[in-house]
Amino acid sequence: MSHHIIEAEDLHYKYPDGTSAIQGVSFRITHGESVAIVGENGAGKSTLLLHLNGYLLPTEGALRIGDYSLTKETLNEVHRTVGMVFQDPDDQLFMPTVFEDVAFGPMNLGFPADEIKKRVYDALETVGMLHLKDRPPFKLSAGEKRAVAIATVLSMSPNILVMDEPSSHLDPKTRRKLIALLGTFKHTKIIATHDLDMAVDLCERTLIIHKGKIAADGPTRELMQDEELLEQCSLEKPLKLQCCSLCGKVSV
């Protein structure tokens, strides 16, 4: 199933002001994989993510998303294949009610009315927010907004989910629920995050980005044990892999 694949080949991106944000990044993410993208602030995570939804086009190198290589002509197909959940749900929820917001994508794809309704209900049901369907999005709590933002993407039934900091600004319980929810998705998942504990929970593979390059690419647990590597990339061992300061045990 090639339409679940993302492949980057020697990707470069230079911002108009000359900042070189990505300098030769290559990776291949295959069907059903769950990959965390981590790195210090300004490492190039967000820039990389903006390529995955076609908002930025690489200045050099190539990106294949599903069956298409990323060019201006294939943007529509790319948008259908990749569901992007933005960091700030307020950027993503712009329609007057939750229902209309979740329906926005399917409506633009031109589905018939009953199909749209079914998709919206299914998506809201999946994230457990169906009861909010008639509410205006700006009245929701941060956790609800996040869940609805995910539903807006699910309603287009994308093959690949890309998420920018899905666990930020959430209280511990809501964060836990979100992690459990994301764990149930069978999509290919790419999650950019600083929440390394979540990366350990959700992603078997991690890409560590450092100064616009890939510093490491491998199994999450292995990379997260490599203290030297983490130190180099301004990261820190996830809490659950550290020794408990009270009893001296590691939780996993």
Question: Closest by alpha carbon to 82, among 105, 111, 62?
Answer: 105
CA angle 9/14/20 to nearest 5° reads: 95
CA distance 4 to 186: 11
Closest separation in Å from C-beta 41 to other proteins? 16
CB nearer to other proteins: pick between 44 and 89? 89
The CA distances from residue 19 to 15, 16, 47, in Å, are: 5, 7, 11
CB nearer to other proteins: pick between 50 and 229? 50
Question: Judging by DSSP bridges, how do beta strands 20-29 and 213-219 pair with one another?
Answer: unpaired
CB nearer to other proteins: pick between 26 and 46? 46
CB nearer to other proteins: pick between 153 and 209? 153
Closest separation in Å from C-beta 238 to other proteins? 29
Closest separation in Å from C-beta 243 to other proteins? 38
Closest separation in Å from C-beta 161 to other proteins? 12
CA distance 251 to 201: 12
CB nearer to other proteins: pick between 152 and 193? 152
Closest separation in Å from C-beta 54 to other proteins? 8
Closest separation in Å from C-beta 178 to other proteins? 19
Contact indicator for 163, 82 with CB cutoff of 8 Å: no
Which residues lie near other proteins (CB under 8 A)? 50, 53, 55, 75-76, 79-80, 82-84, 86, 88, 90-92, 94-96, 100, 103-105, 107-109, 113, 116, 134, 136, 138-139, 152-153, 156
CB nearer to other proteins: pick between 20 and 97? 97
Question: Closest by alpha carbon to 221, among 240, 243, 244, 204?
Answer: 204
Neighbour order of strands in the sheet with 188-192: 82-85, 160-164, 188-192, 34-38, 205-210, 213-219
Closest separation in Å from C-beta 87 to other proteins? 9
CB nearer to other proteins: pick between 13 and 104? 104
**What is the DSSP code string of 76-145?**
HHHHHHEEEE-SSHHHH--SSSHHHHHHHHHHHTT--HHHHHHHHHHHHHHTT-GGGTTS-GGGS-HHHH
